[in-house]
């Protein structure tokens, strides 16, 4: 586990935050520099890596068993979320965790409290890696990258481990929805694949939200407020009127499990014009469509009330639930369950309340469920990961490799 820890700490020191406002590929130079670092390390292992269009890095590890085993792929993304600062990440290593609150930052009085995050107590006695309370940690998905690089190193050092063709891919800009843009399934060459991008130990996910982004534009009629009269229309208040029509029970903070939500994620503007963005999420394709229809209906009614097409709504689908694709290839789930049980882990099969590269890859023709890395509280200054969980994730991946060989 020492090499796993050293590699993870080294990787999170690289700032690979993605930028949704950048048209570049990848969206930030830090991601490209990190891919080039991985390329160099893989070549030092004696493996051949290919950087495709500066967008993703692929590694082909040829079979050494002489059997007709299917080619298996594993993927992780190198970028980390732009939601929280990632500048100068300073991880803290908590050895033999005592089960109590963890002071992340004494001067700023930032504490990871067990009352707020009770699941942390299950890792009493283990080694935890946390933030210093001022940035995220970046385990999403530097932990996945670390696990796959350790896999590559292990297979390179142990040719006695028999396996079929192995394909590894390190993608960019997953956090901003571009992770599989330009990804060539045929060139990758895997028949089945797994993203190593999940949370707590034991998690196996093969269904996710259907997702869309709604952009609402509101046109006001601005003038001097002292002479406004009935002609004045405040775009900000009109947008607020739209937002009041959204049911409180469909906000993220009131939903769990398979329940979808509508999230007001961004708002800006003035009395003259305003714009808002909403995330639309649901596991059910029918309820997903119903949510989109509901927003269109509100816009129709408000335009009827206020006239002149003051409200304009554009909805763009982002990705869909991969379950319908995965279920046609039950082997990918069966092999993962077998690998988990062999590692002494009870599988936790649950829906993703989000999305992964695997969702889009599954619709592109590559069945690709998601496996745990061990991390908790992603996209947060309270992010942490138990070292032992990351080590178990590596064991599960190795079990999958051996399972397909058998």
- The catalytic residue positions are 79, 174
- DSSP H helices in 97-234: 139-157, 185-188
Cα Rg, the chain, nearest whole Å:
23
Give whole-number Cα distances, 312 to 222, 239, 322, in Å.
18, 11, 31
Q: How far apart are the first and last CA of the chain?
A: 27
CA nearest neighbour of 390 among 149, 153, 161, 167:
149
d(CA 9, CA 3): 10
List the structure tokens of 75: 């993927």
Give whole-number Cα distances, 360 to 174, 208, 209, 242, 278, in Å.
11, 11, 11, 31, 21
Counting every residue written for the chain, the total comes to 406
What is the CB-side half-sphere exposure of residue 250 using CA atoms within 13 A? 22
> Which backbone phi and psi does 304 adopt, to 5 degrees?
-65, -35
- DSSP H helices in 88-219: 139-157, 185-188
Q: Which conformational region is residue 252 in: left (phi greater than 0), alpha (psi within -120 to 50 degrees), or beta?
A: alpha
Contacts 24+ apart (CB under 8 A), 152-156: 152/42, 152/45, 152/47, 152/59, 152/61, 153/3, 153/45, 154/394, 154/398, 155/61, 155/401, 156/45, 156/46, 156/47
């Amino acid at each position: 586990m020492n090499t796993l820890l050293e590699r993870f700490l080294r990787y999170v020191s690289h700032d690979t935050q993605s930028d949704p406002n950048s048209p570049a590929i990848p969206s930030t130079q830090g991601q490209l520099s990190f891919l080039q670092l991985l390329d160099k390390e893989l070549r030092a292992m004696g493996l051949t890596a290919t950087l495709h269009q500066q967008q993703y890095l692929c590694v082909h590890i040829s079979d050494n068993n002489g059997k007709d085993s299917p080619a298996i792929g594993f993927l992780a993304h190198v970028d980390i979320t732009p939601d929280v600062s990632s500048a100068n990440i300073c991880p803290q290593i908590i050895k033999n965790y005592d089960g109590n609150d963890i002071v992340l930052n004494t001067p700023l009085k930032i504490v990871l409290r067990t009352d707020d995050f009770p699941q942390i107590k299950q890792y009493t006695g283990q080694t935890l890696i946390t933030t210093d309370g001022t940035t995220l940690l970046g385990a999403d998905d530097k932990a996945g990258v670390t696990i796959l690089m350790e896999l590559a190193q292990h297979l390179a050092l142990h040719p006695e481990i028999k396996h079929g063709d192995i394909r590894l891919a390190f993608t960019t800009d997953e956090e901003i929805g571009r992770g599989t843009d330009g990804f060539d399934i045929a060139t990758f060459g895997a028949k089945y694949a797994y993203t190593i991008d999940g949370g707590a130990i034991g998690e196996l996910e093969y269904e996710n939200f259907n997702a869309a982004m709604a952009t609402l534009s509101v046109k006001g009629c601005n003038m001097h407020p002292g002479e406004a009269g009935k002609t004045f229309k405040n775009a900000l208040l009109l947008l607020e009127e739209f937002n009041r029509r959204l049911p409180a029970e469909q906000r993220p903070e009131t939903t769990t499990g398979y329940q979808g939500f509508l999230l007001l994620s961004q708002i800006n503007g003035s009395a003259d014009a305003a714009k808002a963005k909403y995330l639309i999420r649901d596991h059910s394709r029918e309820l997903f469509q119903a949510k989109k229809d509901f927003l269109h209906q509100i816009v129709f009614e408000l335009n009827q009330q206020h006239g002149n097409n003051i409200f304009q709504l554009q909805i763009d689908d982002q990705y869909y639930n991969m379950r319908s694709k995965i279920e046609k290839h039950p082997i990918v789930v069966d092999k993962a369950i077998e690998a988990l049980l062999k590692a002494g882990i009870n599988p936790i099969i649950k829906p993703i309340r989000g999305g992964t590269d695997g969702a889009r890859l599954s619709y592109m023709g590559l069945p690709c469920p998601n496996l745990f890395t061990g991390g908790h509280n992603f996209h947060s200054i309270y992010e942490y990961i138990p070292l032992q969980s990351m080590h178990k994730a590596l064991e599960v991946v190795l079990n999958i490799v051996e399972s397909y060989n058998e």
